[in-house]
Every structure is written in C-alpha cells, then in structure tokens.
Chains A and B, each alone.
Chain A
Amino acid sequence: MEDISAPVCIQIRHVSKKYKSAQENSLTDVSLNIVRSDVFGLLGPNGAGKTTLISILCGIIPPSEGEAAFIIDGKVLSPIERKSRIGFVPQEYAFYQELTPRQNLDYFGAMYNIPKNELLERREYLLNVLGLSKSADDKVETFSGGMKRRVNLAIGIIHKPDILFLDEPTVGVDVQSRNAIIRYLQSINEAGTTIIYTSHHMSEAEEFCKNIALIDHGKVIAEGDIQDLKTQHNVPNLQSLFINLTGEAYRD
C-alpha cells in the first residue's frame, strides 16, 4: 500500500459525477484534503452536490471521474477496509422503525462484525449516553423526531468508526436533542474521530466545524479554516459568507 504522509485522512482528487438521467454534472472536479481528527463541514445550498459527494466517499455510488483515498495510520485503505472504518449517518431515518433501538443496534452492529459481547456493551453505552435507555425496548416508530435522530446516529457510530459521515444529522429536531447530538459528536471528535458533516444550520456549522468546503453547482467555491475565510471575505459570520458566495436566489 502507498504510504502517504499524515495528517491527511481523506484525499479527494478531481472527483466528478454525472448521473445518467442528468444533463449537467452533479459534481465537477472536486479536490479536497480532510485532515485527521477534523470536523469538516460540507456546506452549500440545496442541490449543490453535498449528498452526492458523501455518497461517493461512503462507496454508495462510484464517481464518474477522479478518486478518493482514505488514509489511516499512513496506509491507504482498501474498499473493504474502508467499510469497517467509516460510519455513515444519512439524512433519512435509515433503520427499522418497527424494531426497538436495541434490536436495531444489535442488527447493524452485527453487520459491522462486532463480536457479540462487545456489541452488547457498546449498545448499552450508546443508549445511555444518547439518552435512549428508558425507551430502548420501545418501537422506534413511537419516538419523537429527536429520538429517532439519536437512534440514527447511534447506528452510525456503534462500531467506533475512525471517520464519520453525517448528512444533516440535526435536521428537524428540537434544541435539546440538537445540543445532545452536537455535544456527543464533539466528544467523539476529541477522542480522535474525523467527522465530515453537512448542514443547513450555519450557526451550528460555525460552532461545530474547524474547516469547511462551500460547494455550489457541484464545484468547490471556497475551502479552508472558517476564521480565515471570514477574514478573507470580510464577513461577521458563516451565514454572511454563505450568502455572499452563493447569492440570495432560490434553489430548487
């Protein structure tokens, strides 16, 4: 395997994506470096290409051009190794609402090849830390939006991933649930997990992320440290930066 110098964790090189049915590229020549233990925000308006980029990085869809390399401990991960080391929390409630949180975590944990005893321990820890213990044996379909988001997150981190992809992890939840989720994400980031995160909440992103990439019409239009970008564009906050660069017009 190729030895690549740390601390780059994900190298995205000239990635483009064009869906068969689409007339234009969803992503065009995207190149990014994401460093280890970063909280990296992929920000952009609706339809900018954020979810497409996350889908490519998670191996759900292949890029039309370009490549993305995952580097951990100086080694480029094979596609199989990559699946064991990443976690994915999609925007949708991608689990079984007819089952309980415990049953969902048991199933998805087993799919990550976690040994049974370790899985039981990890499951109880996550249920506790995400405030789901009391409802752990209730069907998820009876839960509030915030609780469902926490179940969605727990599944994505059951196997202690090195790299965690979060696609709008706090959409549609109340302040309490959002704070709980962000607090927990900050704690696992401090423990070394690299987080790649998309959101429409600019204040949340500003508080949570260290580095960002602003994507619009499938292209990276700004990238770097949030403070540097604000200084560079002479704006008080991330929201102003976002509006400055993407405009006020509606997006479909």
Chain B
Amino acid sequence: MFKIFSSLRKEFLLLINDKTGLALLFLMPLLLVFIITIIQDSAYKMVNENQIALLVVNKDAGKEGGKLVNTLKKSGLFKIDSQDQIEQSALKKELLARGKLIALFIPPTFSAGLESNAQDVSNILMQDLGLESDSTTREKVDMPRLAFYHDPVLQENYSQSVMGIIQSYMGMIENSLMIDRMYASMDLGNKSEVLKEKMISNRVKIDPIVASNNNSTVLPNSTQHNVPAWTIFAMFFMVVSLGSNIVKERINGSFLRLKTMPTTFMLVMFSKMAIYVMVAVLQVALTFSMGIWILPRLGLPQLTVPENLIALLAVTFVSSMAAVSYALMIGAFARTEQQANGFGAISIIIFGAIGGILVPTFVMPAFMQTASNFSPLHWCLEGFYVLFLKGGSWRELGLVFSFLGIFILICQLATYFKLRIERIL
C-alpha cells in the first residue's frame, strides 16, 4: 500500500511541478470554452433557432396589413420587430442602425388596394356567370406594392426565400379577401369559411425528412458543443505533459533503474494513468462548472447537466482513459521530448479538426463526416452529445464506448509492445 501511495505521490509531485503542463491542462480549456462559446454563439443561434430577424413598418390604414404581420408572427419563422413610426425614407438607414438584415414596408394603401383588386375579381366572376355584379361605385385603388429591404451581405437565394415566404402568406390573404368579396356579391353572407378552409388550409403538405448521417434532428447550442468539445481537446492535450514525462523517464534511465528494483513496472503505469484520469475528471468538473455558472452570466446558454449522472461519469471516465492511453502511446514511441510535444500537439489539433471539435461535424461535408469516425475526439464528443441531446441513452452510448474501447486497447497494446521491445517491461 505504501508503495502504491508513494508511486501516486511521485506522479502527483511531477505533475504539480510542471507549471506549463498545468496551464495547458486547466487554463487552456477554460479560456477556449470562454472565447469560442462567445464567438460561436450567434452562429449557433442562426442554425438552431431558425428565426429570421425582420424589421416591419406597417403604415396600412386598413386591417390587411395587420393580418399580414400577425401571419408572419404566427409562422414562427420570423422574429418581428414592429417599428411603425419609421418613415419609408428613413428605413434603409434604420435597418443598418438597428443591425437588422431585412425589413418589410407595408404601404398605407395596402388594404385598400387588396380590397379593390378583390372587388374587381369578384365583379368579373359575377359578370361571367351572368349575375348582377356589385354596382356600388368604389374608388379604384391600384394593387399595392410591398417594399422588401435587405442587406447586400445576404445571399440572393436567402433573400429570395424570405420573399417567397412573404409572397406565400400574401397569397393566403388575397385569396381570403377574394372569396369574401365573391360571397358578399352573391349575398351568401358568412358561408365563405368552408370554401376558404378548403382552398387555403387544405393544401398539399410537404413532409420534411432528415438526411443526416445519424438521423438526429436535435442540434447542440454553443455551450452544449463548446464545453465538452474543448474539455475533450484539453484532455487529449495531456499528451504534452504525460507524453513528455514518459519520454524523460525513458531517456534518463529512471525506467531502467526501476527494472533493477523489486517492483513491477505496471505500478508505474497504473500510477500515471490514475493521476491523469483524475486530472481529466477535474478538467470536466472545472469546465462544466463554468458552463453551468459563468457562461449564463455572460448571456450565453447555460449548460444543463444530464439527468443520467452514471452515464455522465461513464463517458467522462472512458474519454479520460482514451486521452491517457493516447498520451502513453506517444510517450512510448517518441524519441525525444520535442517529438512527443510536437507530434502530440499537432496530432490532437488534427484529430480535433476532423472530429468536430473546432467546427461541428454536422456542418462538415459528407466525406469529412465519414472521416470524423476515425478521430477518438469525435467519439468522445459524440458521447457528450448523447448525454446532452438524447438524455444519455445507453443504447447510443454503446457505440461510443465500443469505438473508444477499441481505441484504448490499441493504444495500450502499442505502448506495451514498444516498452517490451525497449526491455523496460
């Protein structure tokens, strides 16, 4: 027991004496989570919330303009900012000043123009049917024009899509108005509702089908992505501290000296693994605490801890073991500390990029999404996604654990055989 305690104590002392390593292990993830979450938050909001910020100026004297605004609001597609006091001449300037990308101007004659047009259509129909049309003399008002303002930074297809949506709602309003006019001309009173329901609401529906690799429709927010992502990145970055620590001991002869002593080398490796798994668990505790308590104070989404705490512990432990095993392997194969630090750090950045740490895999092209399966960091991140977005489903975690288990086994075996070749084991 004293031997195990001494071995753990030695690893702990080596760790706390490595100030650069400690900074990389604990300060780096906090800074990365803090900075990247702030940077990416607006991008995630655009992807996740699907609400288009729209400045609306409704100058309509009638009620149809209000109907259009309400329809746009109810659609859930737009985040409407109604500013009816703004004059059309000042709208361009206001749009830029308010940081909005698109604006809709509804003219004062909007309702009058629509009603006039509906009356014309009704009259034509009555005449064609040989019925008496409404002879009441009404002022002829031209068909109104909506003004759609958009920032030139927006892609044309985006602007066209938004106009298409508005046009679609306009069609509903116009049709409703025409049906009302025709029924009124035929003195059918309020019986138009059935026809309106049939014509406007009962249309061909389009079923959206997800075509992503994992069929998941749930996407993480910036906190749910960045907190685990950069924690995993930092966990794997222990390769710089642990990897070079092993190289140093190999080169300076400490390992060989231990071979002349009545102890097992497995104790040395066990102590290293135990201390660095604890480091990884501390990293998770630290960055998750930041996600829970500090990020919300900055107006960022709060990290909600999954209910399945056992799954959270399991994912944390398996991810830690993957990071530790990788660091051991690099330490066993590198010939110098520089090699361990250089190759270790670069390989983690590449694994991170492929694995969706830097940029989430769901925005990557299909072939890169396939390539991400070869990154251990991707599977660690998948594990945390399962916790945050799917409630920690054990069935889905099974795949994550299987891949990481194979990765851990490969790294441990490679380390074992390399140290055997060097006669350290």
Binding site for B on A (CB under 8 A): 55, 58-61, 80, 83-84, 86, 88, 90-99, 103, 106-113, 115-116, 139, 155
Min CB distance B251 to A, Å, is: 8
B254: chain A residues at CB < 8 Å are 94-96
For the complex, is B133 an interface residue (Cβ under 8 Å from A)?
A: no
**Interfacial chain A residues near B423, Cβ < 8 Å:** 60-61
A106-B9 Cα distance, complex, nearest whole Å: 10
Q: Decide if B262 touches A60 in the complex (CB within 8 Å).
A: no
The reply to whether A110 and B17 contact each other, CB–CB distance below 8 Å, is: no
Q: A132: shortest Cβ distance to chain B, in Å?
A: 18
In the bound complex, do residue A98 and residue B18 qualify as a contact, i.e. CB atoms below 8 Å apart?
A: yes
B262 pairs with A116, CB closer than 8 A = no
B253 touches A86 (CB 8 A): no
Cβ of B419 < 8 Å from any Cβ of A?
A: no
Question: How many pairs, one residue from A and one from B, have CB atoms within 8 Å of each other in the complex?
Answer: 81
Q: Which of B1-59 contact A (CB under 8 A)?
A: 2-3, 5-7, 9-10, 13-14, 17-18
Contact pick for A84, options B9, B10, B14, B262, CB 8 Å: B262
CB closest residue in chain B, given A107: B10
Chain B 241-285 interface mask (CB, 8 Å, partner A; 1/0): 000000001001110111111110000000000000000000000
Given contacts A60-B256, A83-B261, contact A139 B6 (CB under 8 A): no
How many angstroms from the CA of A99 to the CA of B252 in the assembled complex?
A: 14
The list of the 4 closest CB pairs from A to B, nearest first, reads: A110-B6, A94-B253, A92-B253, A83-B262
Chain A: CB-nearest residue to B264? A111
Q: Which residues of A contact B7 (CB under 8 A)?
A: 107, 110-111
Which one of A58, A97, A110 has the highest number of Cβ atoms from chain B below 10 Å of its Cβ? A110
Chain B residues proximal to chain A, CB less than 8 Å: 2-3, 5-7, 9-10, 13-14, 17-18, 249, 252-254, 256-263, 423
Cα A116 to Cα B4 in complex, Å, equals 13
Q: Complex formed: what's the CA distance from A55 to B253 in Å?
A: 12
Q: A106-B6, A111-B262 provided; 5 other pairs, C-beta below 8 A?
A: A59-B259, A94-B253, A94-B257, A98-B14, A107-B9
- Residues of chain A lying within 8 A (CB to CB) of residue B9: 106-107
B396 to chain A, nearest CB (A): 43
Specify the chain B residue showing the minimal Cβ separation from A90. B253
A93 near B260: Cβ-Cβ < 8 Å: no
Decide if B260 touches A58 in the complex (CB within 8 Å). yes
**Contact for A110 among B2, B13, B249, B260, CB less than 8 A:** B2
Cα distance A103–B258 when bound, in Å? 16
> B13 contacts A90, CB within 8 Å?
no
- A116 and B258 CA atoms in complex are apart in Å by 19
Q: Tell me whether A60 and B261 are in contact (CB under 8 A).
A: no
With A60-B423, A90-B253 already in contact, the answer to whether A103 and B13 are too (CB < 8 A) is: yes
B10–A86 CB distance below 8 A: no
Pick from A55, A58, A84, A107: contact of B6, CB under 8 Å:
A107
Contacting pair A80 B262 (CB below 8 A)? yes
Residues in B with CB closer than 8 Å to A115 are 2
What would be 8 A-B contacts, judged by CB atoms less than 8 Å apart? A55-B256, A58-B260, A60-B423, A84-B262, A96-B14, A99-B17, A107-B9, A113-B3
Question: Is there contact, CB below 8 Å, between B252 and A103?
Answer: no
A104's closest neighbor in chain B, by CB? B10
Nearest to A85 among chain B residues (CB) is: B262
Contacts of B261 in A (CB 8 A): 83, 108, 111-112
Closest residue of chain B to A161 (Cβ to Cβ) is B260
**Alpha-carbon distance A22/B364, docked complex (angstroms):** 51
CA distance in complex: A229, B257 (Å)? 33
A107 / chain B contacts, CB cutoff of 8 Å: 6-7, 9-10
